[in-house]
Amino acid sequence: MLSSKEIRGSFIEFFKKQEHLFIPSWPVVPMGDETLLFTNAGMNQFKEYFLGHRAPSFKRAVNSQKCIRVSGKHNDLEEVGIDTYHHTFFEMLGNWSFDDYFKSESIDWAWKLLTGVYEIDPNRLWATVFAGDEEDNCPADKEAAELWTKLTGIAKERVLFCGRKDNFWEMGSTGPCGPCSEIHIDLGPERCDQKHVKGHQCKVNGGCSRFMELWNLVFIQYNRKPDGKLERLGANYVDTGAGLERLCAVLQGKESNYDTDLFLPIIRATEELAGKRYSSQLGNKTDNAFRVIADHIRTLTFAIADGVTPSNEGRGYVMRRLLRRAARFGRSLDLTEPFMHKLVDVVNKNMGDAFPEIRQRQEFVAAAIQAEEASFGRTLDRGLEIFAAAAQRAKHKKISGQDAFQLYDTYGFPLDLTQLMAREHGLAVDTDEFERLMQQQRQRARAAQKTYSLAAALTGVELPETDDSLKYAADSCKAVLLGWIDESGYKVKGQLATSDETTALVLDKTCFYAESGGQVGDVGMIKTEDAEFVVEATEKLADCVLHRGKLLSGTLYTGDQVTATVDKGRQATMKNHTATHLLQWALQQALGSSVRQQGSLVCSDYLRFDFTWPKALTKDELETIETKVQETIAANLPVTTAVLPIDEAKKLGAMALFGEKYGTSVRVIGIGARNKDEIKNALSKEFCGGTHVSNTGQIGGFAILKEESIASGVRRITALTGPGLVKHLLDRSKVVDALTEMLKAPAEQLAARVSKLLEDNKSLKKELKSGGGKTAGDVNSEANELFKSAVRAGEAYIIVGKLSPVDIEQARVAIDSLKKKAQSAAIVLGVPGEEGKVMLLAGVTDDLIKKGLSAGDIVKVIAPIVGGGGGGRPQMAQAGGKDASKLDEALEKAREMIAAKLS
């Protein structure tokens, strides 16, 4: 039986023998493509070739691409664990041709690999081809059908013509597309899962599991225009994809992908942790949990290794959802303590040879998962209790959107987790109400899904290469206007008139730096004698630099001689960028080599640096880091740049930004090196294409503004240099002067004087709380009267009534006092306030909580009566309301609710 390593390796070696270049997998975070949340197909990294923005340096390619499908159009999350083949993470084996070979070779090689190398019985294989589409005026792919029978010997009746839904591939609503030919395998009549359906007939694309797609061969020969019509491309491309997980199941003789060696080691490790056995059954909740955990830990391991840590935004929020979903399934296996991080090592042992990046970052990945598990674990059990109460309250078999929102907002339960638990109880969730309450959070979670508006207008356009070497040497240069880009595409003829519409100018050369590597793109002006164009952002598409902005005056013509001038803020950006390199060096000096960059932002105003570290930095650590950077600036060390072959740069020990795309040569920045030969011994040496100062003294100072957490295991430092630091210090000086005048004290005594004022204020607050116009004795007296008039329910007291206006602390003290006196009680107090407002407090003793009473639930029911809302713990909860006139009604409702529970 072939192992997954052998199956993957055989695929790659087969195509390498056919003169294909092996291209390593892209990270699961698409590099330079913000239209995708995650890499979801093998072709993603070749997109610019298919769009015609860049010509590839090779004609044939092969790889195994890491893919995640967990959001948007391609979202398999809800099916994971329920069936045998859906996954959030998978590997896509593929081979590509860029205007080289086409249908004949693709079909021939696919057949030879499957039947020759993998030794699949050819009598079990079927092929489908495109049947044509009248609406698109697109003919049937008779060429592919004839090639199948001619080249493979497959019977004509096993080559099927299918429609656009199954056999026509499109990148999107516009862009490259074409017919595809799929290879399916007959797994045998015993694998049919539709036998119970009357009249069902097993067939390819027939909706049953007997026939399974193994490999899709896409022949890209058309372009879908914005008007929906097809046109022939000037070149032909091949893009094929075969899922490794499915291929392994077939070649290893397994009925489920989860029974292959890609998943079983993870499941076996989970068995050891849980003390339960996996039986590989569908519809079994225990087995479902094993499958979900095995799937999700693979996704989490690869995503976190590629730089996506759990957080509340974008890609990080997707990972947080996955981890919390897996943790909840772990509860069904009695795994109540953090356990997912213990499975990272299993994934590494199984897949680290093929993807060494997960092995290199194993320690960080495990730490990030453990931190997130521990954080969620603190609220998970309580959240499950809240869900149980919400399920009991559900009306018309639907949990309210407000309950779902509380589970999200207070206990960190993603909506899909609440929906999953609801389905297990035969319930649904009011998602409409939830969506209304969640609008702001949903916008934040989708923040990473930006669109690149120019890409659609540039399909099939090969943009000119811009010479941008002057960005390192000049702030102004002469250039020729080659054209411009607007919503309708790339214009190389005509004129551009003044307009409020954003346009991107294309020049033959430029001194503007295009946004990359964390450094913002330059801004500035492009002028002729008669026209002024303001550059608001500089970006790069393929090898073409785009100067985005607006024409302020005059008219521009293609071929114009222009002067491009970068704004003087570039100098401040350079200071911040070099300081960012020094900051990373200082962090590693102070904390150790395990510190790794997770991202950065370098602009003229400040610098921001994200790095891996499990906890907040201490005051002493921050001072040490800050001092190291300041001392290096004061040393006035030289900053040297050198372009080196990437292998040579790595041998010198230069650090690369993980996930960044590098060519065969890289630019290295060496701080403390006077020339290329000294870079090996430089203080700091990094791969970097950004702009920098020539010596550290030009930075002019450094100060850390703040250090904070942005995700599990990831910290962020924001700092200032140069002009930004000077302005910050001057602003601080003005504040000190104002306080000196206000407090009539010299600057060196301000801290002591403010500390004394705070202490005095604290003492006064305590006095007010103990008084507040009503003594503690007065409040206790009112509470005692309520106790005397309380109703009994068995051994328990139902204490409901009003208190005279008091502050919240005094009311809480009253509830605690009543709990002690009654021993067993449910207490609800109403306190009128100013301007018709009202305060509600509820308290429940532990013995009654066990019987199903909850202070939070009581408040949640009665608060709307007085026009308010609130919540809290089962022991104590509070709410505010706007309508004191309804207080009696709210208290009566509380009496009824408590009595009903205790009856």
Tell me phi and psi for residue 579, to 5 degrees: -65, -30
- Predicted confidence (pLDDT) per residue in 795-853, tens digit: 899 999 998 888 788 888 888 889 988 999 999 999 988 778 899 999 999 889 888 89
Hey, what are 629's tokens? 């950077």
- This prediction's pTM: 0.67
Tokens 């370098």 belong to 602
Q: Which residue has the higher pLDDT, 32 or 580?
A: 580
Question: Which of residues 659 and 517 earns the better pLDDT score?
Answer: 517
Q: Is 441 helix (H, G, I), strand (E, B) or coil?
A: helix
Q: Which of 38-52, 54-68, 334-348, 716-730 has the lowest mean pLDDT?
A: 38-52
pLDDT of residue 381: 67
pLDDT for 425: 84
Which one is predicted more confidently, 223 or 466? Answer: 466
Confidence (pLDDT) at 207 = 81
- Is residue 448 very low, low, confident or very high in pLDDT (cuts 50, 70, 90)? very low
Tokens of 506: 């294309």
Instruction: Reply yes or no on whether the pLDDT at 663 is more than 90.
Output: no
What is the DSSP track for 534-567?
Answer: EEEEEEEETTEEEEEEEEEESEEETT-EEEEEE-
Neighbours of 682 (CB within 10 A): 23
Instruction: Tell me what pLDDT residue 252 has.
Output: 95
Measure CA 364 to chain center.
17
Which of 159-173, 560-574, 702-716 ranks highest by mean pLDDT? 560-574
Please compute, for residue 578, the number of CA atoms within 13 A of its CA located in the half-sphere on the CB side.
33
Question: Quick one: CA torsion of 245, 249, 251, 255, rounded to 10 degrees?
Answer: -170
Q: Return the minimum-mean-pLDDT range out of 341-345, 488-492, 786-790.
A: 488-492
pLDDT higher than 60, residue 445? no
What is the token pair recorded at 889? Answer: 């009604």
Q: What is the predicted pLDDT for the residue at 49?
A: 84
Does residue 744 register a pLDDT over 90?
no
pLDDT digits (tens, 9 = 90+) for 613-655: 888 999 999 999 999 999 999 999 999 999 999 888 888 888 8
Give the pLDDT confidence score for residue 454 in this predicted structure: 54
502 close to 550: Cβ distance less than 8 angstroms: yes
Q: Which of 114, 202, 204 is nearest to 159 (CA)?
A: 204
> Residue 149: is its pLDDT beyond 60?
yes
The whole-number pLDDT of residue 67 equals: 92
Per-residue burial over 599-636, b if 16 or more Cβ lie within 10 Å, else e, is bbbbbbebbbbbbbbeeebeeeebebbbebbbebbeee
Rounded to 10 deg, the angle between the 103-112 and 142-152 helix axes is: 40
Please, are residues 781 and 881 in contact by the beta-carbon 8 Å criterion? no
Residue 840: predicted pLDDT: 92
CA distance 769 to 759: 16
Q: What's the token pair of residue 561?
A: 């001689």
User: For residue 415, how many other CB atoms are within 10 A of its CB?
Assistant: 20
* Nearest alpha carbon to residue 41 among 258, 218, 211: 218
**Do 621 and 613 contact (CB within 8 A), yes or no?**
no
Question: In b/e form, how buried is each residue of 192-218, taking b as 16+ CB within 10 angstroms?
Answer: beeeeeeeeebebbeebebbbbbbbbb
Residue 844 to residues 204, 698, 787, 801, 855: CA-CA distances in angstroms?
Answer: 62, 65, 14, 15, 6
